[in-house]
Structure 1
Amino acid sequence: MKTAQELKPNNVVLIDGNPWLVQKAEYTKSGRNSAIMKTKLKNLLTGSSTETVYKFDDKVDVISLDKKDTTFSYKADGVYVFMDEEYNQYELREEDIESVLPFIVEGMSDVCHAVFFEGRVISVDLPTTIVRQIDYSENAARGDTSGKVMKLARLINGTEIRVPDFCNTGDWIEIDSRTAEYKCRAKAPA
């Protein structure tokens, strides 16, 4: 058990038998009132979100979830199948992996982490940095050199992200999988 003051983003707390991911934890102390911790939580089983306020010294049950390295194998009938090194298969529905779905493509070689709660796989985490190819982007607009010029680019699976003006169709780029933001150009994966 920890106190609410020790909560940090990406901690997982157990509330009424359900695992909740702490997305945001903010300390607040105002005037004569007691200190509080405002949190934004996401239920890892249902995907629902809520905001909760704890007194600074409330006790919370912080747990750690088991993770296992897996790779994406295939998709069939809205079910995504991931496989570990021992050829065990883990099936997840689209709702379970909604946050990483824009970056899952056929033939990807990224090592993902299957997240388990009570022996059951509940989600998959992608690596922080992933490399994807731009399938289509508009040509650069001439004349706008006032600052960081961004344009829309579409990846192979249809996901659209904003990239700098100098990125073109066919280029490989690094993307931060947590924020879906462009990081830099990259070499094609081997």
Structure 2
Amino acid sequence: MDCTLLYWNGRIIDFDLPITVRLTVTEADPGQGDSAQGGTKPATLETGAVVNVPSFVDVGDDVLIDSRTGQYMSRA
């Protein structure tokens, strides 16, 4: 993950984080039923965070997470 740091007199005075973060799913239940119905399931990411993802997302998949809200955006 890249971030932008703003220095003044050798000290960091501001920073910007990226809007999206690419993370790997480390734990998730197997997908159930028809994913066209829009079902979701909890998945644990490599950071330990748990987010709701669509039922088609599996362990090992990379996903994009909105760093402002912590919500799933899409598969990477």
TM-score by length of 2: 0.78
Identity of aligned residues (%): 33
What is the aligned partner in structure 2 of residue 120 from structure 1? 11
Which protein is bigger by CA-based radius of gyration?
Answer: 1
Say which structure, 1 or 2, has more relative contact order (CA 8 Å, 6+ apart): 2
| Partners of 2:35 and 2:54 within 8 A in 1 | no
What is the rounded CA distance, in whole Å, between the counterparts of 2:42 and 2:20 in structure 1?
A: 19
| Closer/same/farther in 2, CA of residues 166 and 143 from structure 1, 3 Å limit | closer
Q: Which residue of 170, 174, 186 maps to 2:60?
A: 170
- 5 Å-filtered alignment, 1:1-190, equals 110-116=1-7, 120-122=11-13, 124-142=15-33, 147-186=37-76
* CA displacement 1:100-126 (0-9 Å, x = unmatched): xxxxxxxxxx21122457763255432
TM-score (norm 1): 0.35
Q: Which stretches in structure 2 are left out of the alignment for 5+ residues?
A: none
RMSD over equivalenced CA pairs, Å: 2.5
How many pairs does the alignment contain?
76
Sort the Cα spacing of 1:126 and 1:119 in 2 relative to 1 into closer, same or farther, 3 A. same
Structure 1 residue 142 displacement after superposition: 3.2
